[in-house]
Amino acid sequence: MSERGATRRIRAIAWREFRYTALTKGFLIGAIILPGIMFAAIPLLPMLMSSKSAPLIGRVVVIDPTNSLAQSLEMSLPMSAQKSLENQDNSSISEPFKVELTVENISDTARVEEFRAQLKESSLRALIIVTPSADGPAAELLVPSGASPRHTTILESALREAVTRARVTQANENYDRLSKLMGRSAIETRRVSPEGNESKENAQLRMLVPAGFMFLLWIAVFTSGNYLLTSTIEEKSSRVMEVLLSAASPIELLTGKLVGQAGVAGVMLLMYGGVGLAGLGAAAMLDVVPLQHLLWMLVWFPLAYFTVAAIMVSIGSAVSDLREAQSLIGPAMLALTIPLMLWLPIVESPNGMLATISSFVPPAAPFVMILRLTAANEPVPMWQALLAVFVNVLTVAAILWSGARIFRVGVLMQGKPPSPMELLRWIKAR
Amino acid sequence: MKNIVIQLANVNKRFGALQAVRNVSFEIQRGQVCGFLGPNGAGKSTTIRMVMSILLPDSGSITVLGGSALDAKDRIGYLPEERGVYRKMRVADFLRFIAKLKGISRNDADSRIRAWLERVELPGVSQKRCEELSKGMQQKLQFIASVLHEPPLLILDEPFSGLDPVNRRLLSSVVRQLKESGTTILFSTHQMEQAEDLCDQVLLIHKGEKVLDETMGAIHGRFDPRTILAEPANSIDVAAAALEHVSNIESFRWSMEQKAFEIRVTEGVDPQLAMSNVMRATPLRRVELQRATLDDVFVKLVGGSVVEIETADKTGKPQVNHV
């Protein structure tokens, strides 16, 4: 067979596969425009999700036979309200709202029912019942049934602080001084690079980076793998397969399809990865993704893609519809979802037993390795990284070889789907 | 050897317990039209798929255009029995894709697509999606896909099935034109008239084995004519009563189509003798010895295993017709 002819046919098949997947309205809307809109909407989310709370205005009655809590509460309320406003600023979700409460101290405990009735009518914002004890006052907060959760949180916080203040005062200590001493101390962590450059440490983000890499790889590879499965099934069910096989050999057809969908996966990887990097760049946090991580991604992307793609295309060639494909896909999917379930322990301990062993177990290995290699806390020994690449190259070769043999027999088969034993026979067939 | 386009030697193919093709050998010469006949399940499509290298034989050798079909895919046009198109693709895009696979440049492909769509009476469909076309139109589209690259060898598996008589005639005339331009054509069919009309050579396969491989002329010579057509000069009833007593004839029936009696000559009897007997028995306006049709040959060779329907002739005499 002339090599030029084979190359031309593979190119034609690959381009058709790419064009009718990546340049369709469905792909543009589902895989590009919607995520693009979602990304663009992130800065708008606070505005879109903002909720205007009603002001907290009214009376709070404190029934306190010791007369020790009302004053503390009056002092704590503005502080709690202020804290609430600060939290609101941080979350940027809700608009700040006004807090104006008058605290009435009632020492006559017999009037509890009178104020309970007022609470039921919602003419009180809260009723606080204080019980004296040897360690200081204990308090019970009652709010009307229609009280907003945010208002209740402010009242709870203020009451908690007032009780503490009253206890500290009862112990003859200065609450403001102690509070200042016990306050949360600000510690700034900076990471020093081998070149001596310092950058602000963001431990949580560093935990998320490996997961980001793994999910990116997973989504790109599985989306295109799924397209490969459905396009192969469509070619079989619409009987266009024999027309294709009259123009190209099964290997050319398989190669063209794999190359075309590799382009689709590449587009997704570049698009989502690019958006992620742009976001990190905008937040001046690009240092959490060193160049080395990107290079490892380039190594593991083809290995992950060809592993998944060969499995999908073999299944697509062996069945006649998607329903039949589900039963064959099940075991493969189970193995491939392992990294999704175990990403946290693997990232926390990238050189642990679980991570090390699963790095060599196909077909999940590429996803586990990208998790390990991009985890910042412990570098993976280079011999392990290289051995994993070698093992996965062999795995990909074996899966592609078996996939090609299943494809060759399966594409012309119609009727009931093959059993695993039949698939083995197809692999061994001449 | 140079003139042999397809050559099969002792080809066998088995699917599990079923021997689909058994020791089949044949040759097709350049420029010939070969009809590949046989009942359903005889092994025609399997043989064609092996010729196309879509399936590999278990044993035996196949040479197409001097080598393997894998090496000659760009020079072979193939219309498979199971038609298929990309449903969502536009007609022109589908044909361009096939043209690209066959090594035709974009410009050439566009002009050829336009010309072929006109030729098979499908103008104005190029921008339609394939799924919008009727079954017959899709079949014509697939036919175009098989001839777009002007192959020297064309293999058509049941090209006329599912077509209405007008389109059957249209496609038949296109095949005839391709034959005249020197294209070697192998086509399988159940339409005996079409095969008789188009073929130089006939291959008949039955239960995976070749049972006939002859030119049309040789077939006509080999299979004796055993039917006499006799148009009576007087009334049909009188003639029928006279034919009841004629010796050396097996059966007779009135053919509305021929406006004559079709009289079967007894096996082993000289048809000329039977014809003389008929002429002596009743006055005739016309009498002739009917030539053996491909249909007759087909029935004779594979008839034992096909369905038989018992009918009655005009005189009420039971008669067996093979269908």
Residue, of B223 and B150, whose pLDDT is higher = B150
CA distance A55 to A94: 13
pTM of the model: 0.72
CA distance A227 to B262: 62
pLDDT of residue B323: 29
Query: For A53-62, B9-18, B85-94, B183-192, which range has the lowest pLDDT when averaged over its residues?
Result: A53-62
Mutate to test the interface with B, among A15, A227, A242 (most CBs of B within 10 A): A242
Contact B84 A20 (CB under 8 A): no
Give yes or no for a contact between B231 and B284, defined as CB atoms under 8 angstroms apart. Answer: yes
Nearest to A76 by CA among A63, A60, A92, A89: A60
Which CATH number applies to B223-322: 3.40.50.12280, 3.30.70.3270, 3.30.70.100, 3.40.50.360?
3.30.70.100
| Ranges for all domains in chain B classified under CATH 3.40.50.300 | 4-221
Nearest to A159 by CA among A79, A224, A76, A102: A76
Give the distance from CA A371 to its chain's centroid: 14
B317 — pLDDT class (breaks 50, 70, 90) = very low
Q: Give percent of chain B above pLDDT 70.
A: 92
B304 — pLDDT class (breaks 50, 70, 90) = low
Nearest to B306 by CA among B95, B18, B41: B41
A344 interface with B at CB cutoff 8 Å:
no
What six digits make up the tokens of A344?
Answer: 């946290």
The neighbour count for residue B159, using CB atoms within 10 Å, is: 26
Nearest to A357 by CA among A384, A333, A323: A384
Contact A2 B71 (CB under 8 A): yes
Give yes or no for a contact between A60 and A155, defined as CB atoms under 8 angstroms apart. Answer: yes
pLDDT of residue B311: 35
The neighbour count for residue A109, using CB atoms within 10 Å, is: 12
Contact A242 B87 (CB under 8 A): no
Contact B101 A1 (CB under 8 A): no
What six digits make up the tokens of A305?
Answer: 């893609």
The neighbour count for residue A9, using CB atoms within 10 Å, is: 25
Give yes or no for a contact between A32 and A75, defined as CB atoms under 8 angstroms apart. Answer: no
- In the predicted model, residues of chain A with pLDDT beneath 70 are 1-3, 41-53, 78-97, 194, 199, 376-377, 430
- Give the mean pLDDT of B259-285: 89
- DSSP letter assigned to residue B282: S
CA distance A244 to A375: 45
> A430 to chain B: which residues are within 8 Å by CB?
56
What six digits make up the tokens of B51?
Answer: 């010729």
Chain B: residue whose CA lies nearest to A244: B98
Structure-token match 């690079």, residue found = A193
Calculate how close chain A gets to B124, using CA atoms only, in Å: 23
A2 interface with B at CB cutoff 8 Å:
yes
Calculate how close chain A gets to B302, using CA atoms only, in Å: 28
> B145 to chain A: which residues are within 8 Å by CB?
243
Give yes or no for a contact between B306 and B233, defined as CB atoms under 8 angstroms apart. Answer: no
The neighbour count for residue B172, using CB atoms within 10 Å, is: 18
Mutate to test the interface with A, among B101, B146, B158 (most CBs of A within 10 A): B101
Residue, of B191 and B20, whose pLDDT is higher = B20
Contact B101 A412 (CB under 8 A): no
Instruction: Classify domain B4-221 at the CATH class level.
Output: alpha beta
Give yes or no for a contact between B155 and B51, defined as CB atoms under 8 angstroms apart. Answer: yes
* B155: helix, strand or coil: strand
pLDDT of residue B125: 92
What six digits make up the tokens of B284?
Answer: 């005739």
pLDDT of residue A83: 62
- Give the C-alpha distances (Å, rounded to integers) separating A241 from A246, B161, B188: 9, 20, 20
Give yes or no for a contact between A233 and A407, defined as CB atoms under 8 angstroms apart. Answer: no
Contacts of B31 (CB under 8 A, 6+ apart): B179, B182, B183, B184
Nearest to B122 by CA among B137, B112, B108, B132: B137
The domains of chain A are located at 54-175, 203-428
Contacts of B14 (CB under 8 A, 6+ apart): B20, B58
pLDDT of residue A70: 85
Structure-token match 């090209």, residue found = B159
- Give the C-alpha distances (Å, rounded to integers) separating A369 from A326, A391, A395, A400, B119: 27, 12, 14, 20, 59
pLDDT of residue B313: 39
Contact A246 B70 (CB under 8 A): no
Nearest by CB to A247, from B73, B82, B88: name it.
Answer: B73
Amino acid residing at B23: N
CA distance A355 to A339: 10
A246 interface with B at CB cutoff 8 Å:
yes
Give yes or no for a contact between A138 and A52, defined as CB atoms under 8 angstroms apart. Answer: no
B100 — pLDDT class (breaks 50, 70, 90) = very high
Give yes or no for a contact between A254 and A15, defined as CB atoms under 8 angstroms apart. Answer: no
In A185-290, DSSP assigns E strands to 190-192, 198-200
Give the distance from CA B163 to its chain's centroid: 14
Give the distance from CA B4 to its chain's centroid: 21
Asked if residue B318 has pLDDT above 50, the reply is no
Give yes or no for a contact between B21 and B46, defined as CB atoms under 8 angstroms apart. Answer: yes
pLDDT of residue A189: 77
What six digits make up the tokens of A203?
Answer: 């431990």
Contacts of A32 (CB under 8 A, 6+ apart): A271
Mutate to test the interface with B, among A23, A240, A255, A413 (most CBs of B within 10 A): A240
Contact B76 A239 (CB under 8 A): no
End-to-end CA distance of chain A: 20
Cis peptide before A363 (omega within 30 of 0): yes
Give the distance from CA B43 to its chain's centroid: 15
Give yes or no for a contact between B239 and B232, defined as CB atoms under 8 angstroms apart. Answer: yes
pLDDT of residue A290: 85
CA distance A215 to A208: 10
pLDDT of residue A92: 44
Task: Tell me how many degrees the CA angle A337-A366-A289 measures, rounded to the nearest 5.
Answer: 105
pLDDT of residue A220: 92
B78 — pLDDT class (breaks 50, 70, 90) = very high
- Give the C-alpha distances (Å, rounded to integers) separating A299 from A230, A386, A391: 27, 11, 13
Phi-psi region of A248 (alpha: psi -120 to 50; beta: other; left: phi over 0): beta
Nearest to A199 by CA among A208, A188, A207, A190: A190
Mutate to test the interface with B, among A231, A238, A243, A320 (most CBs of B within 10 A): A243
Calculate how close chain A gets to B219, using CA atoms only, in Å: 32
In the CATH scheme, what architecture does the domain A54-175 have? 3-Layer(aba) Sandwich (3.40)
Structure-token match 């903002």, residue found = A50
Quick one: CA dihedral A344, A345, A349, A355, positive or negative?
Answer: negative
Asked if residue B321 has pLDDT above 50, the reply is no
Nearest by CB to A242, from B54, B70, B71: name it.
Answer: B54
> B52 to chain A: which residues are within 8 Å by CB?
245-246
CA distance A151 to A60: 12
Residue, of A187 and B166, whose pLDDT is higher = B166
ipTM comes to: 0.75
Nearest to A13 by CA among A309, A310, A258: A258
- Give the C-alpha distances (Å, rounded to integers) separating A85 from A48, A55, A99, A210: 19, 12, 10, 35
Nearest to B196 by CA among B271, B284, B293: B293
Contact B86 A240 (CB under 8 A): yes
Element (H, E) at B8: strand B4-15
Nearest by CB to A247, from B55, B87, B98: name it.
Answer: B98
CA distance B262 to B253: 5
Give yes or no for a contact between B264 and B227, defined as CB atoms under 8 angstroms apart. Answer: yes
Calculate how close chain A gets to B39, using CA atoms only, in Å: 21
Interface A-B: count of C-beta contacts within 8 A: 69
| Ranges for all domains in chain B classified under CATH 3.30.70.100 | 223-322
* B291: helix, strand or coil: coil
Contacts of B28 (CB under 8 A, 6+ apart): B4, B5, B6, B7, B34, B184, B186, B201
CA distance A209 to A288: 7
CA distance A78 to A212: 42
In A16-67, DSSP assigns E strands to 56-63
CA distance A173 to A29: 65
- Helix A291-318 to helix A203-237 angle, to the nearest 10 degrees? 30
Nearest by CB to B103, from A8, A20, A430: name it.
Answer: A8
